[in-house]
């Protein structure tokens, strides 16, 4: 299990310092030792808070991953406005796409300062396909720069983190990355990674860190209502109906959508870890309690297939001996 730390950057709402520290403390107490962050999250606030929370813990006992691709620069026109990127923070910095070799090093140096660490264990290229001005820069410049830093022992492992299965597949097939962080593409309602991406990862021994397993929220409650969030936007009514149909099956077997969503998301053999975020310490414990609870009955998965709510291929991973 890995703790995703976007919430430490005030994702969709403000956390006070003590709440942020409590989230990390709760994860540590439950045995989590991998923490994932990025400069993008709260314009550096997530990295800063994570670094503060990990002070005092033995460095060799935890793993930190962060990301490159968005450089933070001082906002020369700042006049008190809030960030427009989904984080409730003052817009004192602006994000600028930069997958150049120099940009990678500058980004890493700044992250190390915020994290108060001497190294980052896993560095991920963050959403490379979204750099529309130069979509090839991440492959052409950033990856070779990270590859050199890995060879020099400056960083540990390297990879790519994004929600685009196509982008991830290209890096898996054309580079020597160690891991991918896949956001929302192997969940109860989206298994697009099954067809090509996961087989390629298994063939090339690339670890999968499965993130966004609740698809931004629609799978996080027993029954989604109108206005539920899916992939960072408002969910379509048809998808809400589908998840409620899954909830009907869960009711029949005495379980819940969040419980089977978490259990399902870790079933494929390519997956090395589940990455989940939490708004507070209680949510950390609740999520881990769901994961550690008894597996859902095998008959539940067969019912989902029979009712057209889960593909046969996806269910086969859950039902494998």
Separation between Cα atoms, residue 283 and residue 43, nearest integer Å: 24
Residue 73, beta-bridge partner list: 94
Closest by Cα among 159, 174, 169 to 195: 169
Q: Which residues contact 121 (CB under 8 A, 6 or more apart)?
A: 63, 64, 65, 155, 156, 157
Listed in sequence order, the DSSP H helices in the chain are 17-29, 45-54, 101-115, 137, 143-151, 165-174, 197-204, 237-252, 257-265, 281-292, 298-306, 312-319
How many residues are listed for the chain in this entry?
A: 321
Give exposure, 290-301, as e/b (b: 16+ Cβ within 10 Å).
beeeeebeeebb
299 DSSP assignment: H
**Annotated catalytic residue 41:** yes
**Of the residues 41, 143, 186, 232, which is catalytic?**
41
Q: Indicate which residues carry an active-site annotation.
A: 41
């Amino acid at each position: 299990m890995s703790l995703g730390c976007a919430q430490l950057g005030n994702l969709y709402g403000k956390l006070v310092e003590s709440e942020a520290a409590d989230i990390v403390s709760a994860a540590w107490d439950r045995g989590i030792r991998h923490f994932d962050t990025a400069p993008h999250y709260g314009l550096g606030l997530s990295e800063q808070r994570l670094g503060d929370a990990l002070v005092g813990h033995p460095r060799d006992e935890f793993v930190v991953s962060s990301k490159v691709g968005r450089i933070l620069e001082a906002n020369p026109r700042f006049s008190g406005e809030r960030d427009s990127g989904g984080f409730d923070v003052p817009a004192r910095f602006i994000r600028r796409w930069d997958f150049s070799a120099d940009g990678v090093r500058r980004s890493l140096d700044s992250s190390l300062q915020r994290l108060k660490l001497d190294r980052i264990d896993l560095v991920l290229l963050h959403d490379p396909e979204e750099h529309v001005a130069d979509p090839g820069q991440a492959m052409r410049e950033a990856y070779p720069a990270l590859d050199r830093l890995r060879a020099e022992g400056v960083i540990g492992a390297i990879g790519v983190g994004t929600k685009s299965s196509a982008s991830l597949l290209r890096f898996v097939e054309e580079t020597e990355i160690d891991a991918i962080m896949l956001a929302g593409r192997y969940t109860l309602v989206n298994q697009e990674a099954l067809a090509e991406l996961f087989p390629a990862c298994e063939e090339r021994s690339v670890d999968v860190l499965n993130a966004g397993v609740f698809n931004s929220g629609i799978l996080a409650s027993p029954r989604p209502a109108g206005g539920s969030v899916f992939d960072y936007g408002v969910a379509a009514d048809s998808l809400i109906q589908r998840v409620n149909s899954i909830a009907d099956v869960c009711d029949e077997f005495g379980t819940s959508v969040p419980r089977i969503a978490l259990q399902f998301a870790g079933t494929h053999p390519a997956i090395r870890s589940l990455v989940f975020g939490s708004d507070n310490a209680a949510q950390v414990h609740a999520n881990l309690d769901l994961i550690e609870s008894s597996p859902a009955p095998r008959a539940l998965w067969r019912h989902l297939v029979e009712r057209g709510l889960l593909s046969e291929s996806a269910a086969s991973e859950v039902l494998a001996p």
